[in-house]
Amino acid sequence: MSNILIIKHGSLGDIAQACGAIQDISESHNNDQIYLLTTKPYFDLFKKNPYLTDVILDKRLARYNLIYLYFLMRKIKKLKISKVYDLQNSSRTSFYKKILFPNSNFNNWSSSETTLPKNKTKEEFDKKSVLERFDHQLQTSKINTKHTMLPDFSWSCTDISKIKSEYKLEKYIVLFPFCSPHLAQKKWPYYNELIEKIKNKYNDQYKIVVAPGPDEINESKDINALCVLDNGKALDISQLSSLIKDSKFVIANDTGPAHMAAHLGAKGLTLFGSHTTAYKVSIERENFKAIQVNDLVKLSTDKVLEKINLN
């Protein structure tokens, strides 16, 4: 039996995307101990993942914080890791590689760099979708990729019957009209207009709800929808997963909850401007689709409404 390390720091959408790859790694190492290195927002969440033995916290302090770095690396080295699967593929994890396995190749450190196709540059390879890149990385590392292209995030769900009872949620549509302040180009500006059209079309058969993050609660007051909270606080990731999975439909900007919805099997729609493509981020699934436009300001509510399928 060996100890295997997976690295996945975030963000939320990336976490949902990577869960199929994590499952494939675990099933291919079914006689080994599987550890995951992640950051604080996802530490408790990954504790619930059935494919992991344990989770290690990386506070991601500055690299010149030598004391922190020493203790983190010592903790990992004590596990006598035989192989690392770097699913973050960042400059930081490349830095960790130099410390943990300075002379490594894809036999003991699997990353997009160590498994790069011989006939492609990194820039060319990165044009592929996120899941295609994971699939190539793991196949090159001799992993059977049964789930990588079909991530299932449902392990993240929890019981929210109390919350659903409090808000009388039976048939409901979830909207995610928010985005990070520095990513305003991802934000579609017509959610309130869409809400009115949905209510008119379906004669108020469906409650329309929002589930803001901690920094979005004040902003949610500007949306004409029921704001779902847990004792006045934002839902945690597991609660949010369950809210999404039990919904009739999800409409979202290109944010973490949209990727959660895609990999929870929820029916829904995400709205893309020119910042990236739905293909590149691997968000379209059987039940979850995207509208791609050059300018979100020019995307009409009627165009969005016609794509909403509640059957």
Q: Is residue 186 part of a domain?
A: yes
- Distance, C-alpha 238 to centroid of its chain: 12
Cα(100)–Cα(233) distance, integer angstroms: 40
Under DSSP, is residue 270 helix (H, G, I), strand (E, B) or coil? Answer: strand
Q: Are residues 130 and 174 in the same domain?
A: no
* Distance (Å) of CA 164 to CA 130, 167, 246, 257, 270: 34, 5, 10, 18, 24
Q: Is residue 73 part of a domain?
A: yes
Q: Among 65-74, 95-104, 149-158, 194-203, where is mean pLDDT lowest?
A: 95-104
Conformation bin of residue 121: beta by default, left when phi > 0, alpha when psi is -120 to 50: beta
Residue 182 confidence (pLDDT) above 80: no
- Give the pLDDT confidence score for residue 240 in this predicted structure: 98
Closest by CA to 284, choosing from 264, 262, 304, is 262
Domain extent, residue 63, equals 3-152
Q: Is residue 310 part of a domain?
A: no
Q: What is the mean pLDDT of the chain?
A: 95
- Give the pLDDT confidence score for residue 198 in this predicted structure: 97
Q: Are residues 117 and 26 in the same domain?
A: yes
One-character DSSP codes across 60-110: ---TT-HHHHHHHHHHHHHTTEEEEEESS--HHHHHHHHHH-TT--TTTEE
Q: Of 111, 134, 152, which residue sits at a domain end?
A: 152
Report residue 159: phi and psi, to 5°. -80, 120
Residue 16 confidence (pLDDT) above 90: yes
Q: Of 112, 132, 152, which residue sits at a domain end?
A: 152
Q: Is residue 270 part of a domain?
A: yes
Q: Are residues 10 and 147 in the same domain?
A: yes
Report residue 306: phi and psi, to 5°. -70, -15
pLDDT tens figures, 67-117: 999 999 999 999 999 999 999 999 999 999 999 988 877 789 999 999 999
Q: Is residue 27 part of a domain?
A: yes
Q: Are residues 188 and 299 in the same domain?
A: yes
DSSP letter (8 states) at residue 157: -
Q: Is residue 311 part of a domain?
A: no
Work out the average pLDDT over 19-40.
97
Residue 311 confidence (pLDDT) above 80: no
Q: Are residues 177 and 136 in the same domain?
A: no
How many folded domains does the chain comprise? 2
Cα(85)–Cα(157) distance, integer angstroms: 25
Q: Is residue 223 part of a domain?
A: yes
CB 52 within 8 Å of CB 26? yes
Q: Report the CATH number at residue 193.
A: 3.40.50.2000
Residue 145 confidence (pLDDT) above 80: yes
Q: Are residues 213 and 124 in the same domain?
A: no
Q: Is residue 157 part of a domain?
A: no
Q: Are residues 112 and 185 in the same domain?
A: no
Q: Of 152, 180, 204, which residue sits at a domain end?
A: 152
Residue 35 confidence (pLDDT) above 90: yes
Q: Model pTM greater than 0.85?
A: yes
Q: Are residues 166 and 300 in the same domain?
A: yes
Q: How big is the chain by its Cα radius of gyration, in Å?
A: 21
Asked if residue 11 has a cis previous peptide bond (ω within 30° of 0), the answer is yes
Q: Are residues 9 and 148 in the same domain?
A: yes
Q: Are residues 293 and 260 in the same domain?
A: yes
Q: Are residues 178 and 298 in the same domain?
A: yes
Q: Are residues 117 and 145 in the same domain?
A: yes
- Give the pLDDT confidence score for residue 134 in this predicted structure: 97
pLDDT tens figures, 260-280: 999 999 999 999 998 889 999
